[in-house]
Structure formats: structure tokens, C-alpha cells
Amino acid sequence: MPDAYAAIVEPVLDWYAEHARDLPWRRPDADPWAVLVSEFMLQQTPVSRVLPAYEAWLARWPTPKHLAAEEPGEAVRQWGRLGYPRRALRLHAAAVAITERHSGEVPAAYEALRALPGVGAYTAAAVASFAFRQRHAVLDTNVRRVLARAVRGEEHPPPSTTAGEWRLAESLLPAEPERAARWAAASMELGALVCTARAPRCADCPIAARCAWRLAGKPPGPPRRGQSYAGTDRQVRGLLLAVLREADGPVPQAALDAVWPDAAQRARALDGLVADGLVEPLDDGRYRLPASPPR
DNA sequence: CACTCGTGGGT
DNA sequence: TACCCAAGAGT
């Protein structure tokens, strides 16, 4: 494609300068720890629900060392109803690793970030880019959708990230690190605010004139199977963990039995929570949030 | 690679 | 109202 950079990157950067949201983790006082916390919370969770949880978390644990000194169960409790509570456990484990291996400072190197619990390719690139202003391809669901439409002419990106998507993202990366970091945030913001999954606002899009998908008449992509929830183990796990979160201390078996009628599924869900280290069984038959990290 | 893992708001 | 799906990671 001829000069995709000028056709895509520059208009999106200009658009971002006008339309960027004032999010707390983008402000100058957001240090690398704050950025890391925001990225954990934003994994599969909308911004609007993260905002209050982010503020409360950092008020309680302003540095990795503060969190590392706590029991992991306290992280799970503070996580509240953000969903996917294993993230809380991994964020706690990351704080421990940062304290032990990096003197309590969030590392700047991509590989060191990637080695932290709960930090995958996206989060490592995002923290290196947003907190340390480095040059990395930051490929989240928003960017993948923007590129799928604007460049590939398809409504949705593939189910899982492909090598081709990474190649494309890297080919568009501005040479200057600061500019690359701004592009990362800008392309995500465009996907979040304009090039949305459901009802894209093409009239407000800075690259609509060159968007391959729009120019092709917005052909609908193949149907994608939705994630079912009602009646699954995930729902039962959520109900069980909610009881433990809201209790002050250990909870008797009967309190957990009350949340779901199917005893077999209930047992399977509870076993899963124990296996994940989210719940600790006591010798007296009661259960509690974990007091010590799983080794 | 396919599957699992929470929760709640938007359409 | 019933879906759809949201700054993914780990297995």
C-alpha cells in the first residue's frame, strides 16, 4: 500500500490531539505503577467501570511495595466486582515480583515487563509505551479493529491476534518514540470512541476517506460466537467469590452452598477457585480469601 | 489453537 | 428484551 503512514497515522494523531479523553492514567502524575494498575484493570473491562476502582486502588496501595506487603486475598477483596478476579491475584504477584526483582520500581524494559505475572504482549507494550514513552507496537482489540477495517477492509479482526497483524502494526509505527507512544494511544482511542465494534461513527472518523471497509460498502463479517454466561461455571465462581469478598473472615460451607442449587457444579466451581489460588480451604471446613500466595 | 476466566452497560 | 462485548492472559 502506498504511504499508508501518511494516510492513516497522521490524521489519527491530529484527531487525537483534539478528542483525547482526560483519563487519570494519562495525566502527568500517573507514574508507571499507576499505568500498570490501569492496564490490569482495563483487560476486558470498560473504562467507565475501571475509573472508581483505579482511584481506590492507588489510594490504598500507592506503590508496588505497599501492595506486596498485603495478603493476596486483600487484593481480591479490593478488586470488587471488576470481573476476572484472577487479575487481582496476578497484580498482587506482579507487585511482589517488582519488589523482589526490581527494587520496588516498575521495570521499563519490555522483556522485564513481559516476565511479570499477568503481563502479556499487549500489557508489556502498553506500559513501555504509555509510562516510559518507548516505541512499541501496541495491539489491543481497538487497534486490531481499526486496522482490520481501514487496511484489510474487514469488519472484525481475526478471533486471535495473528503474526500478520503484528507485522502491519509495526510497519505503521512512527520512528520517533514519543510520536509512536502518542500513536499507540491515538489508535486505541479511535477504536474506543469512533471505530466501535457495534455502530461505528464513520461520519466522525478522520480516516473514513481511505477506510477500505467503508469504501467497500461496510460488508458484514462472519458471525462470531458470543460468550455465554448464564449457567456456566464462571457464573457460579462469581457467586461463590462474592460471598467470600463480602465476608470479614472465613465462611462456613453452608454459606457457599446457598448460592447455587446444583451441588456438582458448585463443587467444580469451588475446586476451580481453590486451584486458581483465589480461595483457601481451612482445616475446619470453612473457606477464605487467600492469606498467602500460592507457591 | 481453542478454551476458560466476571461483570455490567449499551443497543 | 436478548444479546453483544469490553485497553487480554494463561493453559
Query: Residue A71 is placed in which grid cell?
Result: 495478603
Is A130 in contact with A184 (CB distance < 8 Å)? yes
Task: Indicate the range of A116-130, A212-226, A251-265 predicted with least confidence.
Answer: A212-226
**pLDDT tens-digit map of A37-91:** 999 999 999 999 999 999 999 999 999 999 999 999 999 999 999 999 999 999 9
Give the CA A44 to C1' C8 distance in Å. Answer: 6
**How many other β-carbons are positioned within 10 Å of the β-carbon of residue A263?**
9
Domain extent listing, chain A: 4-20+137-215, 31-130, 233-288
Query: Residue A190 is placed in which grid cell?
Result: 479511535
pLDDT score of A6: 79
**pLDDT tens-digit map of A98-140:** 999 999 999 999 999 999 999 999 999 999 999 999 999 999 9
Q: How far apart are the first and last CA of chain A?
A: 51
Q: Which CATH code fits A31-130?
A: 1.10.340.30
Question: Which nucleotide across the nucleic acid strands is nearest to A87, CA versus C1'?
Answer: C9
Question: A281 - beta bridge partners?
Answer: A287
Smallest CA-to-CA distance from A200 within A156, A165, A167 is with A156
Give the CA A246 to C1' B8 distance in Å. Answer: 19
Is A95 in contact with A34 (CB distance < 8 Å)? no
Phi and psi at residue A20, to the nearest 5°: -60, 135
CB within 7 A of strand B (chain A, 202-241): 227, 229, 232-235, 237-239, 241
Catalytic residue numbers of A, as ranges: 39
Give the CA A229 to C1' C2 distance in Å. Answer: 13
Question: In this complex, which residue's CA is closest to the C1' atom of nucleotide B4?
Answer: A234
Angle at A89 between CA A145 and CA A240, to 5 degrees: 95
Distance CA A29, CA A285 (A): 46
User: What fold is seen in the domain A233-288?
Assistant: Arc Repressor Mutant, subunit A (1.10.10)
> Is A81 within 7 A of strand B by CB distance?
yes
Q: Which CATH number fits domain A4-20+137-215: 3.30.1490.20, 3.30.565.10, 1.20.120.80, 1.10.1670.10?
A: 1.10.1670.10
Smallest CA-to-CA distance from A126 within A16, A21, A30 is with A30
Question: Which nucleotide across the nucleic acid strands is nearest to A228, CA versus C1'?
Answer: C3
Give the CA A238 to C1' C3 distance in Å. Answer: 20
